[in-house]
Structure 1
Amino acid sequence: MKIASAAAGKKVTNAASLESLDQKDDNAANNSSKASLDVLQSVSGSVYRDSDRDGARGGGEAGAEGTKVELRDHDGAVVATATTGADGSYSFNRVPSGTATGVKVEDRLPKGLTFVSADRPYDSATGVWDVGTLAPGKSAEISIVARATGGGGLVNEAEIAAADQKDVDSTPGNGVASEDDAASATVTVKPAPKPTLSPSPSPSAEPTSPAPASPEPTSTSPTATLTSPAPSPSPTSSPTATMPTPTPSASGPPPSPSSV
């Protein structure tokens, strides 16, 4: 059996079961079995004299032969040692998986997505998700809620930005999508459908019933008719005898009364 290199550092389960048998099986309970194993990995590299101090090995930079190399875990304890060969290379085989610490993932939202919230420690300004510690064989997930401000296909890319331990087959934060520490996903944003307006029905002329005429109120009370009385005849005056009033004289004795 050959184990793929992608399984290094993981737990692999091998399962087998009985498919067919010519004879009768009196105990079907023991027809299957499985076994799990931890796939060990290797760590390799080289030691060389960096003459130009650019951090990369050039063609003219020779390896440091006979150099002792120590392999330490995340607590700093030495778990293995090796000595470099003539070309400065070294290798540690059958290395058990260790706990990864200081893990950070960079996930910058593409243009067209505006950050709303996240369920893990995430800096929307830098796009860095602080994963922290990750046990062997374990994985971590983050859920980021964003609001679409544009349409079409939006590509979201994520990559391991940093870790305390060296990655033997990729370089964190170098932006190379083909390495196994990077991944991407495409989000397709479709415009919202326009609402369909139903035509309003034409108003129909409905006959208008004439308002019923209000009956004139009929008074049932009796009406009193006033008749002016005829004027009474004026009384006729009888002739009245008037006696002349004597006018006093300025001198002499008062006159005697006249007889009628």
Structure 2
Amino acid sequence: MSIVFSGVAIAMVTTVPFATYIASLYSWTYSFTIQAIVSIIALLAIYFAIPPLPVKEKKSYGSQMKILTKPIFMVSTAMNFFMVSAWFSTYSYFAEYLNKAKNMDSTMVSYMLFVFGIIGVIANWVAGKMLNRNITFTTAFFLSGTLIIPLLLYFSDGNMFATVCTIALWGFLYSPSFLNASTYMISSAPEALEFANSLATSFGNLGVTLGTTVGGWIIVSKGVEFSPWLTMAFGFLAFLMIALRQFLEKRGTTNQITVVQCTQQ
């Protein structure tokens, strides 16, 4: 999964900085032309390069829908939603923030996107290794960036070196967000992995929508410099969901032990 999600980070290294640079030279409409070309290439690659994967064992809708009644799964879904909302409430306006809050021109912003992406490729690989050992710890570790980065952006102020270092750390902690959120959510429903995975993507996209929408409202009403604090607010909510899942899992384990003891008696 970390290899697959690295594609997002690779895009940050290549097409995103390039499109931003082209927009700075000509106009933003040219960046959409680049997006269309890349999308067509991706579509052709999916159609011609990916082999067919027939379903070996069909699962009933009922057996998959049961996961929606599991409190642990629903809490994990909320964590996914809040975590992605947290990151995208600021990242969606990455260029706007650096331009107005940090006084960087469009060319410098494209360089920052390049740094962001390079670090992101490494971060996805590291996150994949860490997830194999402990999913909850890894998710919490990278989620901590939603609390740390806003503070560092605030205290870096106009110091260019401090800002660049913060952006590098931002790229490291942000880039595996979809990987961590999806893995965390899927791990709560091992009996319906495919359905859980599809829901993880859906709620992740819903998080992008909420984060971008509320982030835009904050920018219009308060100013772009306030958007990182929204990231922190959503980050706190995501941490609360992790704590709640831990509580539910411990309570479930305690109940199972009690049942076993009663049975033995």
Name the TM-score, length of structure 1 as normaliser.
0.18
Larger RCO (alpha carbons 8 Å, 6+ apart): 2
| Structure with more of its chain in strand, by fraction | 1
